[in-house]
Amino acid sequence: MEQTQDVEEIIARVAALDIGKAELVCCVRIPDPGRPGRRLQEVDRYSTMTRSLLRLADRLVELGVSRVVMEATSDYWKPPFYLLEAAGLETWLVNAKDVKHLPGRPKTDRLDAVWLCKVAERQMLRASFVPPLPIRQLRDLTRYRVDLVNACTAEKNRVEKLLEDACIKVSVVASDIFGVSGRDMLAALAGGERDPKVLAQLARSRMRAKIGDLEEAFTGYFTDHHAYLLAKMLARIDQIEADIADLEDRIGDQIAPFAEAVERLDEIPGIGRVTAHVIIAEIGTDMTRFPTPGHLASWARFAPGVKESAGKKKGTGATGHGNSYLARVLGEAAVCAGKTDTFLGERYRRIARRRGRKKAIVAVGRSILVIVWHLLSDPDAHFHDLGPDFYDNRINPERKRRNHVRQLQALGYNVTLEPVA
């Protein structure tokens, strides 16, 4: 027999919420003072308006509820969660998959609330990670920045399609049509200039070496219709870029209390200040929520899942879907680290050669996440690179010899080794 971490304890006073957009159903279960071992149950409906939620909070405090559990339903869970949390109640957000509806059981809002309450009182649920208010505000800013960058990229793609429609092939000559020279040319096009020679003369610095090609590229069928659309698109791009710049200033103010953590994360290869901002916004700085680096990697879905049946393991390589914003920046950091002459860079290249780039990105992303956990867990910790030759120095010489012989034999050679005197 081995000891487990489970505690056989029923939460005496617990509440569960089945949340919708306009209303929620609250189930409260407390001990029956008149009959020991039995429980009382109260199920009521409440509006999701603020005043109704405040009445709900007062009722739960009156009943002495020690824990309130709710499913993560879209964004509808946020108003009840924040208000009940502010009222001093222990509020848990749980994954809907952990309370999956059982086949054959009738399904209504009332029955769902009762079922969730019964599961919660037996401590069969795990609380999802909900960061504190400063981290939540930082997360809103960094996620909105990602959305604005995507919107700006989409608008630039529309400009490229519009130019193709007008037979303007400037993107063939210029690698970035939204650079200084490209923007001047596009602005002149939108302003009514049609002469290819005049447009080509707007090139600056190294672009002036391509004036002949630019004149050819600007020879097309650009009409007033195209000019109208181009002006709208350029104005929208300018506005989005101005919003991004303003948002970055706001993020800088919000990240100020975590400046030391940003500096230490910036030491990791592949991670810059913007990436560090996103990582802190998504996982916070309090690593007590994740007991080990493995817990953090599992939460972020940068660890393989486990699926075994009848002694056979199936699909253990899949990681599943986690935090998309965190996965995006970790993937970018892994690719950037793969171009450096560091331990992480060598790790990326070794795995990419054997198993492909996608698996290398996940593996190095997990390594970065483990490093982040250690740096945030210990305020005095700093990143120390093991070096690109770490693997070569640790591999057994006999193993290296066998690998080299096998590679030569695969090329069709008979290998005979003689030790050097």
Domain check: are 18 and 78 in the same one? yes
Residue from 343, 326, 351 nearest 385 by CA: 343
Q: Report the pLDDT averaged over residues 239-252.
A: 95
Report yes or no on 421 lying in a domain.
no
* pLDDT(145) > 70: yes
Interval 198-204 mean pLDDT: 90
Residue 246 lies in a domain: yes
The string of pLDDT tens digits covering residues 357-392 is 999 999 999 999 999 999 999 988 889 998 888 887
- Regarding whether 169 and 111 lie in a shared domain, the answer is no
Q: How far are the Cα atoms of 82, 157, 242, 244, 404 from residue 152, in angstroms, in the given order?
A: 33, 9, 11, 9, 50
239 and 168 inside one domain? yes
Tokens of 100: 């999956």
pLDDT of 163: 93
| 274 and 296 co-located in one domain | yes
The pair of three-digit structure tokens given for residue 210, joined into one six-digit string: 């391509």
Mean pLDDT of 398-408: 87
248 and 181 share one domain:
yes
What average pLDDT does this structure show over 200-213?
A: 89
Let me know whether 313 and 337 are in one domain: yes
User: Is the residue at 405 inside a domain?
Assistant: no
CA dist., res. 355 & res. 333, Å (int): 19
- What pLDDT does residue 336 have? 94
Quickly list DSSP for 225-271: HHHHHHHHHHHHHHHHHHHHHHHHHHHHHHHGGGHHHHHHHTTSTT-
Domain final residue, candidates 225, 254, 283: 254
Residue 1 pLDDT class (50, 70, 90 cuts): low
What global pTM score does this model have?
0.84
Dihedral of CA atoms 395, 397, 402, 404 in degrees, nearest 10, equals 80
User: Burial of 147 by CB count in 10 Å (0-12 exposed, 13-18 middle, 19+ buried)?
Assistant: exposed
pLDDT at 8: 54
In sequence order, what are the residues at sequence separation of 6 or more whose Cβ sits closer than 8 angstroms to the Cβ of residue 314? 307, 308
Distances from the Cα of 49 to the Cα of 196, 290, 326, 356, angstroms: 61, 34, 32, 51
Domain total of the chain: 3
Residue 419 covered by a domain:
no
Closest CA to 56 of 77, 85, 86, 26: 26
383 in any annotated domain: no
Give 255-276 pLDDT, tens digit per residue: 999 999 999 999 999 999 999 9
pLDDT of residue 331: 93
The reply to whether 95 falls in a domain is yes
Range of the domain at 157: 134-254
264 and 232 assigned to the same domain: no
Last residue of a domain, one of 100, 121, 142: 121
Asked whether residue 406 is assigned to any structural domain, the reply reads no
Half-sphere exposure of 279 (CA within 13 A, CB side): 35
Whether residues 294 and 363 fall in one domain: yes
Residue 54 has pLDDT above 80, yes or no: yes
Looking at the structure, tell me whether residues 220 and 290 fall in a common domain.
Answer: no
SS3 state at 43:
strand
Residue 392 lies in a domain: no
Please indicate, yes or no, whether residues 269 and 318 belong to a single structural domain of this protein. Answer: yes
Q: How confident is the model at residue 278 (pLDDT cuts 50, 70, 90)?
A: very high
- Yes or no: say if 343 and 390 are a contact pair by the CB < 8 Å rule: yes
- The band of 159, judged by pLDDT with boundaries at 50, 70 and 90, is very high
Task: Please report the pLDDT score of residue 5 as a whole number.
Answer: 55
**133-148: average pLDDT:** 94
72 and 36, same structural domain? yes
* pLDDT over 70 percentage in the chain: 94
From 359, 377, 395, give the residue that closes a domain: 377
Which pLDDT belongs to residue 346? Answer: 92
CATH number of the domain to which 38 belongs: 3.30.420.10
Domain containing residue 183: CATH number: 1.10.287
List pLDDT tens digits, range 2-49: 655 555 567 888 999 988 888 999 999 988 888 887 888 889 999 989
Please give the structure tokens belonging to residue 313. Answer: 């393991």
The confidence score (pLDDT) of residue 318 equals 64
pLDDT for residue 260: 92
pLDDT at 115: 87
Backbone φ and ψ for 165, nearest 5 degrees, come out as -65, -30
In this prediction, residue 122 has a pLDDT band, given cuts at 50, 70 and 90, of: confident
pLDDT tens digits along 284-333: 999 988 989 998 998 898 887 777 776 677 665 566 677 889 999 999 99
Choice between 303 and 64, residue whose per-residue pLDDT is larger: 64
Q: In whole numbers, what is the pLDDT of the chain averaged over residues? A: 88
| Residue 156 sits in the same domain as residue 235 | yes
What residues form DSSP beta bridges with 313?
308
